[in-house]
């Protein structure tokens, strides 16, 4: 393991572990941090990349952004634990020449190396050297391609889903970005909707993560 990777420790992963535990419905202590396979640890650049990309998806506004609540590290841990089927072997029909270099021996996909390659290629070099506006444009193009009607499989759909899950299971996402009331209160059958109203994080039927 390289010197950079030796720096990964429980304190650095604490935020991501808490979010992952919430998403999995288990105690934080049940999320194994120190026992992650060294092959699953991202490089420092990949860790920064997923943090920056997460913040492009959910930037800081009047509520904290994805980077503020540690969503990048949540995604790292979620991928290592196979959340949302990210460690399942890919079906043969989903494998393309562009994805083949990022497959593991068991047929599953290494999502972060793929994302790093895809964004650097779109940027014509180093994605992270660009300013926020250009990064947003490049990511928007990747997103549009991935979610286009009839589009081929893209690892970005799983990554974006994990970013949204990580954010909206955080304290900020669940109680500030969304409106939280453990017991919503009295029944009101007709409530006028205004642009200022937020969805209830305690009502999953009313929450659309995109």
Number of domains in the chain: 1
How many helices and strands, by DSSP H and E, does the chain display? 8, 0
Under 8 Å between Cβ of 40 and 78: no
Residue 152 lies in a domain: yes
Under 8 Å between Cβ of 145 and 151: yes
Residue 131 lies in a domain: yes
pLDDT at 100: 94
pLDDT tens across 147-200, in order? 999 888 999 999 999 998 888 887 777 666 656 566 656 666 677 777 777 666
Domain that holds residue 168: 3-179
Under 8 Å between Cβ of 103 and 95: yes
Band the pLDDT of 101: cuts 50, 70, 90. Answer: very high
Residue 98 lies in a domain: yes
Band the pLDDT of 22: cuts 50, 70, 90. Answer: low
């Amino acid at each position: 393991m390289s010197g950079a990777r030796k720096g990964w420790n429980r304190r650095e992963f604490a935020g991501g572990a808490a979010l992952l535990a919430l998403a999995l419905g288990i105690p934080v202590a049940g999320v194994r941090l120190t026992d992650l396979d060294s092959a699953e640890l991202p490089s420092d650049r990949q860790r920064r990349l997923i943090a920056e990309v997460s913040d492009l998806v959910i930037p800081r506004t009047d509520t904290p952004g994805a980077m503020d609540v540690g969503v990048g590290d949540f995604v790292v841990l979620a991928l290592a634990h196979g959340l949302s089927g990210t460690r399942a072997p890919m079906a043969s029909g989903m494998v393309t020449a562009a994805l083949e270099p990022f497959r593991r021996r068991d047929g599953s996909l290494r999502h972060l190396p793929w994302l790093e390659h895809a964004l650097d290629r779109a940027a014509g070099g180093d994605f992270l050297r660009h300013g926020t506006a250009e990064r947003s444009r490049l990511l928007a193009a990747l997103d549009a391609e991935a979610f286009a009607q009839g589009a081929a499989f893209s690892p970005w759909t799983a990554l974006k889903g994990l970013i949204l899950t990580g954010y909206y299971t955080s304290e900020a996402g669940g109680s500030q970005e969304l409106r939280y009331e453990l017991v919503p209160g009295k029944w009101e059958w007709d409530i006028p909707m205004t642009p200022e109203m937020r969805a209830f994080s305690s009502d999953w039927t009313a929450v659309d993560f995109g």
